[in-house]
Structure 1
Amino acid sequence: MSELFDRIDALVASRSPLPPPAERKRLRVAHGLTLDEVAAALDVRRATVSGWEAGRTEPRPPEREGYARLLGKLVELYPAPNATVPVEGTAVPETFSSAPGTVPRAQPVPAGAVSGAAAVRTEQDTRTRPAADAVFPVPSVSPAAVSPSAPTRMTSASASLLVSRRAGGRKAGESGTPGSGTDPRFENGPLAVVDVEDGHVVAYCVGGLVLDVPAKSLPSLVEWTLKEAKLGQSKLSGPGRAADPLLVLTAAALERYGLPTELSEQEKDAGRIPEGHKVIKQLARAEWKLTKRGFGPWARVYRPATGSERACVQLCIPSWNALDTRHWGEAGQLPPAELARVLGVYAAQVMTPRGSTAVTGLELMTALHPPTRASAPDADGRRHSEHNPGSLGKDPVDCGPCEAPDGHPLLKGLPRFHVRGPAEKLFEEAYDWARPMTDAECTLRHLVGIDVNMAFAAGANGLNFGLGEPTHVKAPAFDPKLPGSWLVDLSHVDLSRVKAGKEWVDLDGSLLPSPFTPKGDRPTGPAWYATPTVAYAVELGYDVTPLEAWVRYDNGRYLDGWYQRLRDAYLATMADLGVTADLPPEDFLTAMDGCKARDPELGIVITAIKATVKGGLGKLRERPRGEGWRPGERWRALERPTWRPDIRAAVISRTRVNLHRKIVKHAAFTGQYPIAVLSDCVVYAADGPSPMDFLPYRDGKPLPGGFKLGINPGLVKHEGTQTVLWGEGVREQFDAPQLNFARFIKDGTVTAADNGE
């Protein structure tokens, strides 16, 4: 009989009722549980739990019963919409509205309530939001926390007690919740979006926390932020410093504090409001200062540091175009709670934004490798500042003349209209190459584009970079481990016969781009190349004899931590979108299809992370902009230790040869050659519309050293597919036999601008 009962129990467990997928995630996030914690408790993979929450799969016995039990416990703590749960210590229940667009808001405790009790209710917020996002958990408030005479709205002093007040920022995610760090100074997270509602100023923090802001002016807002708001972010490295708090000011907040909601054309050109503006005068009277860039879309308000203590607040103003739509999408148009969520996830995964994604990418390098550190105590027990090994130091260094962009002071002696050729100028750039299709390729049906994930980040990983000044060497012996720039003739490298691993292979070199030039043309004589490019020529089986070089004997893997931080940010965010690193090829392609639409806000974060990589590398060779600059004069960026065009060149060089290596492996094994390459996107002709129609997978395993589908940096994803007839048609339309299909393979839209006309 016991066996019969066991079978009955198992049958019941196999149909254990579960809430809808969205509710499963809400309950987990409400209790502060991570996917890893739930997976470990149920003895399943993280991706399995993510699939249950996304509705892609359903749990089966025996895990189903345990999962149902977990969710049942959580729903008791965090009831679904329309549920009524009494707050501890009071007879007045806490009510949640399930109507779309509702947000929990703190209400005054009614007079005559039970002595020592607190009642927290909700009222409707007219902001439109999905119904599933309207409910956030409100933990119980102890009898001593709030008295019957509590004020109508929270003051900054009571904000930490009523931390239960939650806004409607949906799907806050584990990484963006306040209190996720260990530093009590920053318990309310790294940033806040300041808005005005019903005549009151409020600050939306990460995780749905909302604080009332008592400040009546911008100087007092800065004071409140530093003294009471508990905003900021812990340092990312031992010798580093904590991140300054970030305030994002909505248009309503700008108006409240006397700032223009939009910049005039003149102010846009200047990138700031005039120095005589009344708000800037208010800051000056309160002894606050602005950086040299003034009060613009990204402004820094500070007082000079005293010892190790900093007094600085970063301001971000979306309506002044602080959040560039190219990198942040529609983030600047989001409601405050949703914007706090987007920026909060980015801050938790990458760092608190310090400006544009490019500026933040550069600042992340410094945050992970600060130029100085505290020394060991001297004889008197005192510490002093000293160079931090592995960093770029605190003083800028000049590049080699071949690495200098046009107009650099090192080139001041050149004739005015002199154009430097490859033998005078290092020109390491990403691919922009295409060729006409062969007759055989024209008989195929599709053009399929694949794109390398985080290609430039992967190119930086494990690469040696110079940390100090370059040394000029005549007729050097090439050393692939020595970072630098080399003048060498690579015109003898024949792509028709190259080494692929240890064996020589014969290829059709006319169908391959050269790995040594961005346009894919074969070199015609000596030219300057970064170390990875020359090393690849040796790898292909050819001797190299440099004529001269600018090398850096003091070197190290400066960007390894930077790569790892951005890689982890990318992978964690993609996992939250349902794309994990352990998916088989077909499942990966399915998961990637429309993944950003599952959570548009996390889609914005992904775009921003990618822009942080490319923008940060671009800042290493920042050119003068709007500074009244003339060729031969120094410009502001040259005064940074992180102005390092040689590092940028090395990363681009490594990224380009990494891609070429995969192209060669693929061609040697399959006989297939790319039709177009643009940066990190490669287009092939194929019989079918999927990458699986031309990538050589066997039993789910890819070609070693070739292209592999997956989400990790360096692996590839499907970029887009068009028909061969479409390709021939656009080339005929624009009379361009070598029009680069990779530029618009994603959606097929081609304009005269795309064609360079």
Structure 2
Amino acid sequence: MSELFDAVDALVASRSPLPPAEERKRLRIAHGLTLDEVAAALKVRRATVSGWESVKKTTEPRGPEREAYARLLNKLAELYPAPAAPPEPAPAAQTGRSTPSQQAPATAPTTAPASDTPAGPVAETPQTDPAVVGHAEPRPTRTARPSPPSTPRRPDVRKATPADTPASAAGSRFENGPLAVVDVDADGQVLAYCTGGLVLDVPAKSIPALVEWTLREARLGQPKLSGPGKDADPLLVLTEAALERYGLPAALTDAERRAGRLPEGHKVVKQLARAEWKLTKRGFGPWARIYRPAKGSERACVQLCIPSWHALDPRHWGDVAQLPPAELARVLGVYASRVMTPRGSTAVTGLELMTALHPPTRASEPDADGRRHAEHNPGSLGKDPVDCAPCEAPDGHPLLKDLPRFHVRGPQEKLFEEAYDWARPMTDAECTLRHLVGIDVNMAFAAGGNGLIVGLGAPHHVRKPVFDPKLPGSWLVDLSHVDLSRVRTGKDTWADLDADLLPSPFTPKGDRPQGPAWYATPTVAYAVELGYEVRPIEAYVRPENGRYLDGWYQRLRDAYLATMADLGVHADMTPEDFLTAMDGYRDRDPELAIVVSAIKATVKGGLGKLRERPRGEGWRPGEPWRALSRPTWRPDIRAAVISRTRINLHRKIVKHAAYTGQYPVAILSDCVVYASNGPSPLDFLPYREGKPLPGGFKLGINPGLVKHEGTQSVLWGEEVRERFDAPELNLARYIKDGTVTDADSGE
């Protein structure tokens, strides 16, 4: 009998009642579930679940999938019951006798049937009669409807507030978040996926209409980061389906990709021009900005991001462009809320963050007529570019146009502050150890900018100056006399070291200087710190200065720490717990791991933009290029940050060597490799009762502290160097996974 009962149960399950397709979709979205999540739970394809929810061509689940799907929908229906349908309006008062057609029959229901209810947003589907829930037919007819106000699809089912509603009544002007991912669902409805699981219906039929809708109804954007600053413009991310809907190509042609934009004759560009919208000089490219000239304090500008046009560099954003719309909105939303709304690449955003935190101008005090004017904002770089010093200028700069064509500038003519790329052969004693362990400084270049005094104005040229470690600038000085075999490590403490096993702190390749050379202030100050006198020959100094990067560092630090905390790595962990937490942290939430990578790229890219080089543009050496017109083109600030970062690392290396007698085998940027008997950093980093060496390396997630980069065997290192006949091959470049595909070119 049990077999018969099982057969009966299976037969009943195969006919489990299901609500109509619209209700299925409403329930899923109300709970914040994506099609991929439902498909994974039911072990079916995403397209299968999409078909179950399709109003135009509904498919029905069968077998065990139907029973499981019905169970899911029943539980969701308990959490999010459908709103009751609005009652029919009362009939107008009649002075005479009603005709039969005007009289309601005695058995009429108290609410109108679903087919008679005015069509509304999907999130407001009327309650379906339980008697017909299990049947796919007849379904309520989907009638044409006028474009309604944007309707959010989240559990609270809020209505988007009209643009003319006072802010006090509507809440924040940016209540729907900084950005939205625009996509088209299986039914052809355009949806905007916002942060926090919010989904809006998009009524716009063209790109100009989409821009208008964004500014009038979507309530997207981000408040300014600084008092005198400006609110961030809303960002729309267009998926391939959205591109097709709005008449844009899913990918750029080779010619368009090289130009970085669509041609001026493209129909969408013409549509924008007819609607009196303008594009920036970048044109309609992967990061298009569409605007109208500002009227007073009101800005009318929308930023577009098109992932399929390679707007999101996979080196920094991983495979984020392949994520479903809701997940993509989450990744970009977390980045926007913690850093800022992306304005382009991570490099562009890093530079824009500096300006957003220190706007060039502010409103003045009222004049005699009560009017305010724009004035210089103290602590900013101002609104006008300044020339760099000749020694700070990269090759090809207009300041160097009179140099011979093939002239190569040496250290006495050019400031060359770069990150470390140094390695040495291992000693016999190191070859007897078992492991090579790499440690990496967290957010090293961000930490290098923390508290750093940089120039805000133009340089002043002085000859035979007295060195001032608090005065930012570039100094021509001879540091060849600094001997690393004996250095000062404290106020009255000196240490004897093996200088042959240490890189010089003054050059990126670790070579000892051979005579006068140009250095940034932190480099010269370190020579004084090591106990040696310095006598500059000349200098370009900046008396107008300040801690311009402090806010930038703090914003990025907080973003990094908050995201790592979400991944289970906290700032107050013990060294052992920290190493355990870092092991596989990316797998805990791959989407947040993408945010971490983007934050790191924002740091390095933003600093790189301070000395942006010409890119095509028909440029010739000696001619100005576009970046020189920016007040944020400041190679001196970039040099100072890199100088301080390299010096911070060398200081820790010296402290470690003086205390333990251990010396690095290789250094690449912010990664240092040591030979060790054990595979863990704890096997060679000195800790006493859980406390690290003062001034040395410390394990932790905070910027400036170190994490485990990777471990390989000493035999691996020697074999690789022998294979490529390169005894000084930089092993720090490959310590993470041990893969060496070619000889180290140093690039």
Which TM bucket (shorter chain)?
0.7 to 0.9
Contact 1:289 1:303 in 2 (8 A): yes
Q: Which has the larger radius of gyration?
A: 2
**Paired amino acid for 1:377:** P
Match of 1:157 among 149, 169, 174: 149
Contact 1:354 1:360 in 2 (8 A): yes
Once the two structures are superposed, the pairs formed by residues 294-305 of structure 1 within 5 Å of their partners are: 294-305=283-294
Once the two structures are superposed, the pairs formed by residues 515-594 of structure 1 within 5 Å of their partners are: 515-594=505-584
In structure 1, how many angstroms separate the alpha carbons of the residues matched to 2:126 and 2:579? 43
| 1:184 match | 172
In structure 2, how many angstroms separate the alpha carbons of the residues matched to 1:488 and 1:751? 40
In structure 2, how many angstroms separate the alpha carbons of the residues matched to 1:475 and 1:408? 26
Match of 2:335 among 328, 346, 350: 346
Query: Mind listing any 5+ residue stretches in structure 2 that lack a counterpart?
Result: 1-29, 33-71, 86-111, 128-139, 159-166
Shift of the alpha carbon at 1:501?
1.2
Structure 2 counterpart SS, 1:301: strand
Once the two structures are superposed, the pairs formed by residues 7-86 of structure 1 within 5 Å of their partners are: 82-85=75-78
Deviations 1:288-321 (A, max 9, x none): 0001111111010000111111100000000000
| 1:53 match | none
| 1:245 match | 234
| 1:482 match | 471
Contact 1:156 1:228 in 2 (8 A): no
Deviations 1:213-259 (A, max 9, x none): 11111110000001111000000000001000000001111111111
In structure 2, how many angstroms separate the alpha carbons of the residues matched to 1:392 and 1:535? 24
Contact 1:453 1:712 in 2 (8 A): yes
In structure 2, how many angstroms separate the alpha carbons of the residues matched to 1:152 and 1:542? 83
Identity level (%)? 79
In structure 1, how many angstroms separate the alpha carbons of the residues matched to 2:312 and 2:666? 32
Deviations 1:618-660 (A, max 9, x none): 0000000011000000000000000000000000000000000
Contact 2:522 2:643 in 1 (8 A): yes
Contact 1:450 1:717 in 2 (8 A): yes
Contact 2:82 2:126 in 1 (8 A): no
Contact 1:89 1:117 in 2 (8 A): no
Contact 1:663 1:674 in 2 (8 A): yes
Once the two structures are superposed, the pairs formed by residues 220-619 of structure 1 within 5 Å of their partners are: 220-502=209-491, 503-619=493-609
In structure 2, how many angstroms separate the alpha carbons of the residues matched to 1:83 and 1:163? 11
Contact 2:83 2:125 in 1 (8 A): no
**Paired amino acid for 1:465:** V
Structure 2 counterpart SS, 1:672: coil
Shift of the alpha carbon at 1:86?
6.1
In structure 2, how many angstroms separate the alpha carbons of the residues matched to 1:204 and 1:86? 22
Deviations 1:66-118 (A, max 9, x none): xxxxxxxxxxxxx99935426579579xxxxxxxxxxxxxxx9935899x999
Once the two structures are superposed, the pairs formed by residues 701-716 of structure 1 within 5 Å of their partners are: 701-716=691-706
TM-score if structure 2 supplies the norm length? Answer: 0.81
Deviations 1:639-698 (A, max 9, x none): 000000000000000000000000000000000000000000000000000000000011
In structure 2, how many angstroms separate the alpha carbons of the residues matched to 1:728 and 1:679? 22
Contact 1:109 1:150 in 2 (8 A): no
Q: 1:183 to 1:625 in 2, by over 3 A?
A: farther
In structure 2, how many angstroms separate the alpha carbons of the residues matched to 1:544 and 1:520? 19
Structure 2 counterpart SS, 1:310: strand
In structure 2, how many angstroms separate the alpha carbons of the residues matched to 1:117 and 1:659? 59
Contact 1:165 1:209 in 2 (8 A): no
Q: 1:272 to 1:611 in 2, by over 3 A?
A: same
Match of 1:656 among 640, 643, 646: 646
Query: Mind listing any 5+ residue stretches in structure 1 that lack a counterpart?
Result: 1-28, 32-78, 93-107, 124-147, 167-178
Deviations 1:8-46 (A, max 9, x none): xxxxxxxxxxxxxxxxxxxxx999xxxxxxxxxxxxxxx
Deviations 1:353-381 (A, max 9, x none): 00000000000000000000001111211
Shift of the alpha carbon at 1:752?
1.1
Contact 1:153 1:212 in 2 (8 A): no
Structure 1 counterpart SS, 2:288: strand
**Paired amino acid for 1:554:** E
In structure 2, how many angstroms separate the alpha carbons of the residues matched to 1:118 and 1:284? 34
Q: 1:163 to 1:493 in 2, by over 3 A?
A: same
In structure 2, how many angstroms separate the alpha carbons of the residues matched to 1:493 and 1:518? 16
Contact 2:152 2:198 in 1 (8 A): no
**Paired amino acid for 2:195:** V
| 1:669 match | 659
In structure 2, how many angstroms separate the alpha carbons of the residues matched to 1:484 and 1:717? 32
In structure 2, how many angstroms separate the alpha carbons of the residues matched to 1:400 and 1:311? 38
Contact 1:109 1:120 in 2 (8 A): no
In structure 1, how many angstroms separate the alpha carbons of the residues matched to 2:305 and 2:116? 44
| 1:630 match | 620
Contact 2:363 2:375 in 1 (8 A): yes
| 1:193 match | 181
Deviations 1:700-757 (A, max 9, x none): 1000000000000000000000000000000000000000010010000001164559
In structure 1, how many angstroms separate the alpha carbons of the residues matched to 2:73 and 2:640? 54
Contact 2:123 2:153 in 1 (8 A): no
In structure 2, how many angstroms separate the alpha carbons of the residues matched to 1:487 and 1:683? 32
| 1:728 match | 718
In structure 2, how many angstroms separate the alpha carbons of the residues matched to 1:568 and 1:385? 31
Contact 1:89 1:118 in 2 (8 A): no
Contact 1:215 1:224 in 2 (8 A): yes
In structure 2, how many angstroms separate the alpha carbons of the residues matched to 1:672 and 1:314? 52
Deviations 1:142-182 (A, max 9, x none): xxxxxx9998889552525977469xxxxxxxxxxxx9xx9
In structure 2, how many angstroms separate the alpha carbons of the residues matched to 1:299 and 1:343? 17
In structure 1, how many angstroms separate the alpha carbons of the residues matched to 2:203 and 2:472? 55
Match of 2:208 among 207, 219, 222: 219
In structure 2, how many angstroms separate the alpha carbons of the residues matched to 1:611 and 1:86? 42
| 1:110 match | 114
| 1:205 match | 194
Structure 2 counterpart SS, 1:184: coil
Contact 1:87 1:118 in 2 (8 A): no
Q: 1:153 to 1:619 in 2, by over 3 A?
A: farther
In structure 1, how many angstroms separate the alpha carbons of the residues matched to 2:123 and 2:484? 76
**Paired amino acid for 2:420:** Y
The count of aligned residue pairs is 628
In structure 2, how many angstroms separate the alpha carbons of the residues matched to 1:341 and 1:154? 30
| 2:629 match | 639
In structure 1, how many angstroms separate the alpha carbons of the residues matched to 2:301 and 2:499? 58
| 1:139 match | none
Task: List structure 1 runs of 4+ shifted beyond 6 angstroms.
Answer: 116-119, 148-154
**Paired amino acid for 1:695:** L
Q: 1:610 to 1:183 in 2, by over 3 A?
A: farther
Q: 1:161 to 1:195 in 2, by over 3 A?
A: closer
Q: 1:415 to 1:89 in 2, by over 3 A?
A: closer
Deviations 1:409-432 (A, max 9, x none): 001111111000000000000000
Residue 694 (str. 1) matches residue 701 (str. 2): no
Contact 2:730 2:744 in 1 (8 A): no
| 1:4 match | none
**Paired amino acid for 1:474:** R
